[in-house]
Chain A
């Protein structure tokens, strides 16, 4: 109970606070410098991000003051974050998506909203984003394969978007589909997974202020291989929950189909919360390799966001609901 109160408090303070613009700018310089050191190629991309962030779709990015969620960890180099991807729609190799995702057409783009909502329909991407201010959030990303990154996302809180469609009292879950189009997504010509890729969250997870609907990263619009033009970012769950290139949002009463949990139910659960105590049947989840680092580091419960999200799972056996 005390936990809950402390979290609320932190969040409310964060909303009232005004971000110090000078601090914001200095963080940018830091980002640029890190990118240049690590990659040598990305200085331009990061250095000019201020204008690009504002020029990209939606309202100008503002830096959300995340309070207890914020991290001063060094972001992964943009080069690594955009060339080392799991996006089987463009091939199962880590570098396949960066090579093959050029065929994806991200404009025009629309999202179908269906199911237990008062206001279903098809929404153009621009209309979906328009009412919201784009925020920058630096989140840890932990892949189920035991590697991790730190990524500065640009996005809008998922819950605020979902609320606009007015979910009915029957809505308990929200499901997401990736685009299904083997023409644009050559990886879908092979039945590696049961396409389209599908993911889902319990509605309270989706409404949690940490859940982000991202449209950009590193101050720019999302590259195709990172899930352009619209993807989920749920930082306390394994990366495969953060579905990419979303074309459908469906509110359901029952727990929806989710790709990996049906592909291999003993290995991937519906919840897929980052949990060092519950190993993948084939490998350990106790530690992770942060991309760019040599030694592995310990994996934190809920990927370090336990204080904010653990109450969502109060009373649940996380060994059973992995």
Chain B
């Protein structure tokens, strides 16, 4: 396979790999292998992967610019959509399985518990990005599209805060994600604005 075709296949490969954790959850649910607290397992796995794919999508531009990995550029959109997909699963689990559509207790959680509030805010940031991820919307919004899609950083900051605030004592994993996000933000900071695609 020549490099051009490989490049063309890369986004599809990303999607194929990206759905594996979700498929593992489905298989786990069907075979009763999600542990003693399956709802918690689905919540944790979907949330962790939403954050990971979001950070991966944010890593595309710095990697392209600083390391010249241009082949990754077309992967940004599928990575972002994967993040949105897992975030949707995460929120759906919270609403449907954890709270069983008890809207009052859901509203209470969202309004009164800061870690739920920022988690919900992260999802609200991702929502317009997913909607405007098509070529058509990109054309229609022009320069504003780029500005709008900087919301991905806001979403990532909110998601990391969400993670940091919810753990009991072991901050290792949220701090690792926070450090990666910090590195990504720093790499953008140094780049002049004119260069932003």
Binding between chains A and B: yes
Q: B-contacting residues of A (Cβ < 8 Å)?
A: 79-81, 83-84, 88, 92, 94-95, 145, 147, 190, 192-193, 263-264, 282-284, 286-287, 289, 291-292, 294-296
- By a CB distance below 8 angstroms, the chain A residues around B13 are none
- Say which residue of A94, A264, A282 sits within 8 Å of B166 (CB atoms): A282
| Whole-angstrom distance between the Cβ of A279 and the nearest chain B Cβ | 8
The residue on A at minimum CB distance from B100 is: A295
Report whether over half of chain A's contact residues are helix, strand or loop; otherwise say mixed: loop
Alpha-carbon gap, A83 to B37, bound state (A)? 10
**In the complex where A282-B113, A283-B113 touch, is A94 in contact with B169 (Cβ < 8 A)?**
no
- Say which residue of B36, B105, B115 sits within 8 Å of A83 (CB atoms): B36
Q: Is B175 positioned at the interface, with any CB of A under 8 Å from its CB?
A: no
**Are A84 and B169 in contact (CB-based, < 8 A)?**
no
**Are B100 and A296 in contact (CB-based, < 8 A)?**
yes
Report whether over half of chain B's contact residues are helix, strand or loop; otherwise say mixed: helix
**Are A284 and B170 in contact (CB-based, < 8 A)?**
no
- By a CB distance below 8 angstroms, the chain B residues around A80 are 36
**Are A94 and B37 in contact (CB-based, < 8 A)?**
yes
**Are B35 and A95 in contact (CB-based, < 8 A)?**
yes
- By a CB distance below 8 angstroms, the chain B residues around A294 are 39, 97, 100
Alpha-carbon gap, A296 to B97, bound state (A)? 10
**Are B35 and A83 in contact (CB-based, < 8 A)?**
yes
Q: A-contacting residues of B (Cβ < 8 Å)?
A: 35-37, 39-40, 97-100, 105, 108-109, 113-115, 165-166, 168-170, 172
**Are A147 and B169 in contact (CB-based, < 8 A)?**
no
- 11 A-B interface contacts by CB (under 8 A): A80-B36, A84-B36, A88-B170, A145-B168, A147-B40, A192-B170, A193-B169, A282-B114, A282-B115, A284-B109, A294-B39
**In the complex where A84-B35, A84-B37 touch, is A92 in contact with B166 (Cβ < 8 A)?**
no
Among all A-B residue pairs, the 9 with the closest Cβ atoms? A84-B36, A80-B36, A92-B170, A192-B170, A291-B36, A192-B169, A295-B100, A282-B113, A282-B115
- By a CB distance below 8 angstroms, the chain B residues around A94 are 35-37, 40
The residue on B at minimum CB distance from A147 is: B37
| Whole-angstrom distance between the Cβ of B32 and the nearest chain A Cβ | 9
- By a CB distance below 8 angstroms, the chain B residues around A147 are 37, 40
**Are B37 and A291 in contact (CB-based, < 8 A)?**
yes
The residue on B at minimum CB distance from A287 is: B105
| Whole-angstrom distance between the Cβ of A230 and the nearest chain B Cβ | 24
| Whole-angstrom distance between the Cβ of B191 and the nearest chain A Cβ | 37
Given A145-B168, A296-B100, 8 other A-B contacts at CB below 8 A?
A94-B40, A192-B170, A282-B166, A283-B113, A284-B105, A294-B97, A295-B100, A296-B99
- By a CB distance below 8 angstroms, the chain B residues around A83 are 35-36
The residue on A at minimum CB distance from B173 is: A92
Alpha-carbon gap, A263 to B105, bound state (A)? 28
**Are A263 and B169 in contact (CB-based, < 8 A)?**
yes
| Whole-angstrom distance between the Cβ of A247 and the nearest chain B Cβ | 22
- By a CB distance below 8 angstroms, the chain A residues around B114 are 282
| Whole-angstrom distance between the Cβ of A99 and the nearest chain B Cβ | 12
Alpha-carbon gap, A291 to B38, bound state (A)? 9
- By a CB distance below 8 angstroms, the chain A residues around B37 are 84, 94, 147, 289, 291
The residue on B at minimum CB distance from A295 is: B100
| Whole-angstrom distance between the Cβ of A47 and the nearest chain B Cβ | 22
